[in-house]
A and B are shown apart, each in its own frame.
Chain A
Amino acid sequence: GIQVEQSPPDLILQEGANSTLRCNFSDSVNNLQWFHQNPWGQLINLFYIPSGTKQNGRLSATTVATERYSLLYISSSQTTDSGVYFCAVGPVTGGGNKLTFGTGTQLKVEL
């Protein structure tokens, strides 16, 4: 099946700093979503972005489908941004309609 790798696995930032999270995947996708898992375990949809660039406030994401990677940018980070960020992909072929998740990036934003 499709492989999804995220980097870095852990990240500690000072409040106000910017960061870039990366997601590499091993096959063509028709679905790519970024999630934020908060300390209560809830998965919050950030972006649906199988290709192109989107922005939502301090967050933006870019997927370069031909090169099989996606980036999530967090600007002016806040303590509420802490948590785990997951990339999840749905392959074009052979994967049904399911999402395969990466192992996540654990982000901690400190004052």
Chain B
Amino acid sequence: EPEVTQTPSHQVTQMGQEVILRCVPISNHLYFYWYRQILGQKVEFLVSFYNNEISEKSEIFDDQFSVERPDGSNFTLKIRSTKLEDSAMYFCASSDSRGNTIYFGEGSWLTVV
């Protein structure tokens, strides 16, 4: 079964450093997403991306965050200057159309120290 893959699985970074989380969505999918989950809390939506642009973003997704689809297969989340409160599991997801199943990757644990 096709799957969404994410790298790295775990990253530790110093506060103030830039982090890039990478994702390879399922190949024929058109919608891409990032979600995050702070330890012990529910999963929260960050941003959705369609047709090479952001289609929706949450209040969490401020100017410190950006997304990019640099080529036909990768989808990245960049955090420009990490804060302690950015420590979380970040999930990439994709779907083939609106309203259909959204498939999640295995997540990237980010620890900011």
**Do they bind each other?**
yes
Please report whether the interface of chain B is mostly helix, strand, loop or mixed according to DSSP.
strand
**How many residues of A sit at the interface, in one of the four size bands?**
20 to 34
State whether the Cβ of B65 lies closer than 8 Å to any Cβ in chain A. no
B104: min CB distance to chain A, Å: 4
State whether the Cβ of B103 lies closer than 8 Å to any Cβ in chain A. yes
A23: min CB distance to chain B, Å: 12
Q: What are 19 A-B residue pairs whose CB atoms fall within 8 Å in the complex?
A: A31-B100, A31-B102, A42-B106, A42-B107, A43-B43, A43-B104, A45-B101, A45-B103, A48-B100, A48-B101, A50-B99, A86-B43, A88-B43, A96-B48, A96-B55, A97-B48, A98-B45, A99-B35, A103-B42
Query: Which residues of chain A come closer than 8 Å to B35, judged between CB atoms?
Result: 99
Please report whether the interface of chain A is mostly helix, strand, loop or mixed according to DSSP.
strand
- Are B89 and A98 within 8 A (Cβ)? no
- Are B42 and A101 within 8 A (Cβ)? yes
